Structure 1
Amino acid sequence: MGPGKWKGRRSALIAGSVAAAGALALATVPSWASGGGRQEPASLTAAETQVRTATPIQHVVVLFDENISFDHYFGTYPNAANTDGTKFTAKRHTPRVDGLTKKLLKDNPNQYDPKRLTHEQALTCDQDHGYGSEQKAVNGGKMNQFVEHTEKDKCTGQPVLFGEPGLVMDYYDGNTVTAMWNYAQNYALSDNSWDSVFGPSSPGAVNLISGQTHGIYAVDPKTHQKVSDSYVVQSPDQNGVGTMINDPDPAFDDCSGSNHTSKNNLGVMTGRNIGDLLNEKKVTWGWFQGGFRPTGTANGYAVCGATHPNIGGVNAVDYSPHHEPFQYYKSTANEKHLPPSSVAAIGRTDQANHQYDLSDFDAALEAHNLPAVSFLKAPEYQDGHAGYSDPLDEQQFVVNTINKLQKSPEWKSTAVVIAYDDSDGWYDHKAPRILNGSADAAQDSTLCGKAKVAGGYQDRCGPSQRLPLLVISPFAKVNHVDHRYTEQTSVLKFIEDNWGVGRIGDASFDQRAGSLGGMFDFHRPRAGRLILDPKTGAPVSG
């Protein structure tokens, strides 16, 4: 598809008017159509011709990883120490990021200065990333209380994990997160992308697919009868419906509660998500997660028992139910973890209901049946979450996935988005500008109380901290650092507008989210393929 065909779209797609792009998808014939009927480019596959899009992007693949702040991975980009790990040398004229300055590295307002973690220190303690703890670390925007409120510098019972006083301040560079830095060199990186709210994994995952963490209620794990539970639901109304700020497991999942061996209550989300909107427009989609395929059954429930060791030799269970946001919603859940009825059915509504194992993504890609929208979640040992995963295991998942996509014919119309669910509480120096407030005296700081409360729903304070965001695509800007404001729900908004499915509604953050348009070049795309070594993150071909 020639880049000139998208020239007339440039102002809407690149100047930041995502709303205009969404309207364009609904009201305007795409630029590849002409005359009285629609004419598809000969290069497009049958799967790509089903639904009109507002951009050349026919496939979005979201790699949704875990628990990284921007400074933790990109604080010194593009300058690496080159004392260990994989050597990294930046291209000439690489743009700098809003990162860790010399003053922040040597005279930081926190108790400890940030310290570089070596390639051999990839396995670290997990930090505290609670909704309230992260607010305390931000300390009204002073960004100087991370050691007191989010640091965990000792890893009890896990001798392979590295910990030290001041650990929460520490960061990696391109000698460890080499693939991420190489992707940034060749595609687009944002240094102004944010976690939509304070807090841990599940709120981040739910914001990715709906922009709305309000609407949850608690149920008994066996009977599904509504119960009261302050861990599952914060600020409940008279019907027990409130906001998610923690990591309860989803109600519509046999593997929740340690394969239903736990007595912990589960969560049900009400309202709509992007899966509902895509279904209404008959757009193919799926969530693909490591370990989703059951390893057996017990007491009438499917059991998710697959495990893998990380680089330290410590086994982690592949599947984490609270990382699978669509399982909180009855409309989009695959409670029994049923497989797709066929490879051809992947992305379409059948017994799997759009929820799949990662192996199903590979099967769909190999069969040239890639859904229009795919969300990929690595097995736990490769998802980047400190405590059981690490940047080196994460790199293998990310690189292997992108290599396969770049070698496929679908690559010419694909955009890969690498995004994260939360910061893990790792230090980032940039103070947030709170766009949505909350006045829950038990949880919220005074900083949150100063902003409006969208929909009247408490405990959705944010954005909180910067997270890495990369766009890898033939249409991505090359060696570009985008400084325009985005957040987790910007990914949701791009999907909504590219396929013209509308908005979530009910005070979803998709309304406020910034555009990903600044990370694309639809006028003169120049990005080529970049095949990396999964172990080193270094290029193996251009």
Structure 2
Amino acid sequence: MFQAATAVGLASALPELSEAAPAHKTVKGSLDAKLKAHVKNVVVIYLENRSFNNLFANFPGTQAPLSAVAPEACLQKDRNGAVLPVLPKVWGGMVPNSQDIGGKHYAIKEDQIKDLPNGPFKLVDAEGQPLPEAVITRDLWHLFYHNQMQINGGKNDGFAAWGNAGGLVMGYYGETNKNLGLWKIAEQYTLCDNFFMAAFGGSYLNHQFLISGRTPEYFNAADTAAKKKIAVLADGPQGVRLAVAPDCPGALDGPPKFVNDGAITPDGYAVNTMAPPYQPSYIRPAPGGDPLLADPADANTLPPQTYQTIGDLLSAKSVSWAWYGGAFQAALDARGGGAKPNFQYHHQPFNYFKQFAPGTTARAEHLRDGGMGDSPISNKFLADVVAGKLPAVAFYKPQGNLNLHAGYSDVESGDQHVANVIEHLKKSPQWKDMVVVITFDENGGWWDNVAPPKGDRWGPGSRVPAIVVSPYAKKGQVDHNFYDTTSILRLITRLHDLPLLEGLAARNAAFRARGALPPGDLTAALSFR
């Protein structure tokens, strides 16, 4: 299969295409026959904001371990293209919010870690000791245009220059082989080391790609209050580079400044975070308006989307499915804020679609409260796991403080949560027929040494970890095949003989136009005997 490799340039937008799913004859003894005979449940655990290098830099058996990468291949450049003499400071500090972890106080300010050599480095505290995974670091920009400018045509040399966290982008956890439950899970099952986030940028857009493989539309944005959210580009309406502000400093002097790094492309696609049109949403209802809606006149509210999702296709085939949103009901009850559970509204992708609006049968059947915490008593997803009541396709989104997102979640808590979920799944009566995919929505702004292959206008973006866990997963293997987030949709599509979503057809066409194979469907990580 096509292997991930350094790519140059970025594709322009493709017209939406309609394409039937590839024909996979269910011949006795074939892979498809075995897949359908043995796999009755697909579970997707969708975590947050870590590049592959950030957690798995030197995992044994990977094609491109960080330790084997030449230092000159990691060099970061200034905004004028010159190689930086050192990494920038960590703007705002690595740990701006004071924390007490393991009897030690952590508050790492901007001037405490500086003049770092230009290259990747193990995350340490102000005393040079390994930074515990339990410490919450500052957040980093992870946005549509910024990610493309950081990738810089496959060179990956713009991360320090075009992020807002300075040198922090080059950091990685150096003791995950000893401390990370996910590392141990990867050792037991199959780690995919050429798996990329489907779309450039952030969580909002990659959640949309997880369920539909395409970018939300806001074609009349210029005629609404959202006009102010239209990005100003340096290279045309379908370009990849933001227009830099006249007073933008050099990379060693501060974060970049832009004319307008908005959420909407000049030709009307919503690529950075917009609010769901339905509650729960971070935009409140209009005064005197429908309490189930976000204020539709607010510039931050995305109009309801109407195109097909994987859920629609599953429902049309009478295949059971559900999205379990951690703390979803708590958010509806106005209890979703604070450090715990820290519910994230833009992580609920089906809540952007008209067919799943409040009051619809589809919403009641498929958008479920995942509950909270680590016990089946409080966590409704785990309760269904224990009871053997998971639908054929289940998406699980942990609550905010357990999703590993820098800025509001630490690695340790989320890692322990996922390890606990996997243990419950392995004890479930449905385990013998199950395939679990653990992955991250996007890189969170963290650098990675493997550049994404050239796809279409929307992605793929940076490399992220993905682990296939199943009685049928190849044990102790590293899968080098090329995948992206849409590979999960491709697996579900193949398993249930679904038509191909338009976004997947468009991505297929982009790769085939270059003589390359599109992302795989993860079946190479499975073995049926």
Report the residue type matching 2:522 in the other structure: L
CA deviations 1:492-526 (Å, max 9, x no partner) are: 11011101122112565564332212211113xxx
2:157 aligned residue: 144
Listed as ranges, the matches of 1:117-516 within 5 Å are 117=123, 118-120=130-132, 122-153=135-166, 166-172=167-173, 173-175=175-177, 178-216=180-218, 228=227, 229-230=229-230, 231-236=262-267, 242-257=268-283, 263-267=298-302, 268-294=304-330, 302-307=332-337, 315-333=339-357, 335=358, 352-359=364-371, 360-437=380-457, 460=458, 462-505=459-502, 508=505, 511=508, 512-516=518-522
Report the residue type matching 2:269 in the other structure: T
Alignment partners' CA distance in 1, 2:74 and 2:385: 47
Alignment partners' CA distance in 1, 2:452 and 2:281: 36
Which secondary structure state, in structure 2, belongs to the residue aligned with residue 417 of structure 1? strand
Listed as ranges, the matches of 1:35-74 within 5 Å are 54=36, 56-74=38-56
1:188 is displaced (CA, Å) by 0.2
1:23 aligned residue: 23
Alignment partners' CA distance in 2, 1:370 and 1:30: 28
1:394 is displaced (CA, Å) by 1.0
Distance 1:506 1:517, change over 3 A: closer
CA deviations 1:394-450 (Å, max 9, x no partner) are: 11221121111111111101111011111111010112221114xxxxxxxxxxxxx
Alignment partners' CA distance in 1, 2:438 and 2:430: 18
- Structure 2 gaps of 5+ residues are 2-18, 77-86, 88-117, 124-129, 231-261, 287-293, 372-379, 509-517
8 Å CA contact 1:104, 1:113 repeated in 2: no
8 Å CA contact 1:219, 1:251 repeated in 2: no
Alignment partners' CA distance in 2, 1:416 and 1:182: 15
Alignment partners' CA distance in 2, 1:404 and 1:316: 22
Report the residue type matching 1:505 in the other structure: E
1:116 aligned residue: 122
Alignment partners' CA distance in 2, 1:325 and 1:226: 23
1:371 is displaced (CA, Å) by 0.4
8 Å CA contact 1:269, 1:328 repeated in 2: yes
Report the residue type matching 1:201 in the other structure: S
8 Å CA contact 2:182, 2:419 repeated in 1: no
Distance 1:55 1:148, change over 3 A: farther
8 Å CA contact 1:272, 1:504 repeated in 2: yes
> Which among 73, 87, 99 is matched to residue 65 of structure 2?
99
2:257 aligned residue: none
Report the residue type matching 1:139 in the other structure: N
2:523 aligned residue: 517
Alignment partners' CA distance in 1, 2:328 and 2:482: 34
Which secondary structure state, in structure 1, belongs to the residue aligned with residue 64 of structure 2? coil
Question: Identity of aligned pairs, percent?
Answer: 31
8 Å CA contact 2:51, 2:447 repeated in 1: yes
8 Å CA contact 1:219, 1:265 repeated in 2: no
Alignment partners' CA distance in 1, 2:202 and 2:319: 30
Which secondary structure state, in structure 1, belongs to the residue aligned with residue 394 of structure 2? strand
Alignment partners' CA distance in 2, 1:366 and 1:463: 36
Which secondary structure state, in structure 2, belongs to the residue aligned with residue 495 of structure 1? helix
1:106 is displaced (CA, Å) by 8.7
Alignment partners' CA distance in 2, 1:330 and 1:372: 23
8 Å CA contact 2:62, 2:193 repeated in 1: no
Give the stretch that moved more between structures: 428-437 or 480-489.
428-437
Alignment partners' CA distance in 2, 1:323 and 1:522: 34
Which secondary structure state, in structure 1, belongs to the residue aligned with residue 146 of structure 2? helix
- TM-score when normalising by structure 2: 0.69
1:105 is displaced (CA, Å) by 5.9
Alignment partners' CA distance in 2, 1:352 and 1:202: 22
- Structure 1 gaps of 5+ residues are 1-10, 12-18, 35-51, 79-94, 154-165, 237-241, 296-301, 309-314, 339-348, 438-459, 524-542
8 Å CA contact 2:20, 2:499 repeated in 1: no
Which secondary structure state, in structure 1, belongs to the residue aligned with residue 488 of structure 2? helix
1:192 is displaced (CA, Å) by 0.5
2:6 aligned residue: none
CA deviations 1:447-490 (Å, max 9, x no partner) are: xxxxxxxxxxxxx2x21211111100000001111111000000
Alignment partners' CA distance in 2, 1:386 and 1:151: 13
8 Å CA contact 1:193, 1:486 repeated in 2: yes
Distance 1:506 1:60, change over 3 A: closer
Report the residue type matching 1:483 in the other structure: H
Alignment partners' CA distance in 2, 1:30 and 1:278: 25
Alignment partners' CA distance in 1, 2:279 and 2:29: 40
Alignment partners' CA distance in 2, 1:355 and 1:428: 34
Give the stretch that moved more between structures: 209-218 or 473-482.
209-218
8 Å CA contact 2:276, 2:301 repeated in 1: yes
Distance 1:98 1:141, change over 3 A: same
Distance 1:265 1:320, change over 3 A: same
- TM-score when normalising by structure 1: 0.68
Listed as ranges, the matches of 1:5-16 within 5 Å are none
1:534 aligned residue: none
1:217 is displaced (CA, Å) by 5.5
Which secondary structure state, in structure 2, belongs to the residue aligned with residue 54 of structure 1? helix
Alignment partners' CA distance in 2, 1:100 and 1:259: 48
Alignment partners' CA distance in 1, 2:215 and 2:478: 30
CA deviations 1:250-285 (Å, max 9, x no partner) are: 112343326779844311323110000000001110
1:151 is displaced (CA, Å) by 4.5
CA deviations 1:345-392 (Å, max 9, x no partner) are: xxxx56624111113323322332210000011111011110001210
8 Å CA contact 1:137, 1:148 repeated in 2: yes
8 Å CA contact 1:257, 1:264 repeated in 2: no
Q: CA RMSD in A?
A: 3.2
Report the residue type matching 1:99 in the other structure: P
